Amino acid sequence: MFKGTHILIWSENPDKLMEFYRDVLELQVAEKVDLPAKNEVGADYGYQMNSGELPVCWIGKHSEVVGKSKEPVRIMHNLKTDEVQKWYEKVKSAGCEILQPPALTPFATDEKQIYVCTWLDPDGNCWQFMGKLNG
């Protein structure tokens, strides 16, 4: 039985990526972790990024990650929000590539309007804002 999930985002430049998540997505740096070389794994470091008390992702340095994601839409991470339009405007203003501006999802109903916006972060990782268009 699984007990949850946690997104690990590896980057060639985790400091720059952390700044994007902190400054544009307004996530908090809960902790910076320096990982010493141990058990045949090289030294790395990273940042635990939270939204309030909720962990969202961990951004870390990985020796085998170079450049941008080569298949960004293979895995899409969703951020649930009641302000899809607001967050779309923020990532668009930050220069992120927008793959899908806010639109009703195919499974939206008249009773439950669910919007989605798909975009790429500075490393080319695919994200979606999903929920109400405006709170």
Pick the residue with more confidence: 44 or 128?
A: 128
Structural domain boundaries enclosing 116:
76-131
Q: Note whether 51 and 90 are same-domain residues.
A: no
End position of a domain, from candidates 61, 85, 100:
61
The pLDDT value recorded for residue 78 is 93
- Residue 105 domain-assigned? yes
Average pLDDT over residues 105-130: 94
Q: Note whether 13 and 39 are same-domain residues.
A: yes
* 32, 38 contact by CB (below 8 A): no
Any alpha helices (H) in 1-135, and if so which ranges? 14-23, 84-93
Q: Note whether 87 and 45 are same-domain residues.
A: no
The pLDDT tens digits of the residues spanning 66-100 come to 999 999 999 999 999 999 999 999 999 999 999 99
The pLDDT value recorded for residue 10 is 94
Domain count, the chain: 2
- Residue 118 domain-assigned? yes
Edge-to-edge strand order for the sheet containing 97-104? Answer: 76-81, 126-131, 115-120, 97-104
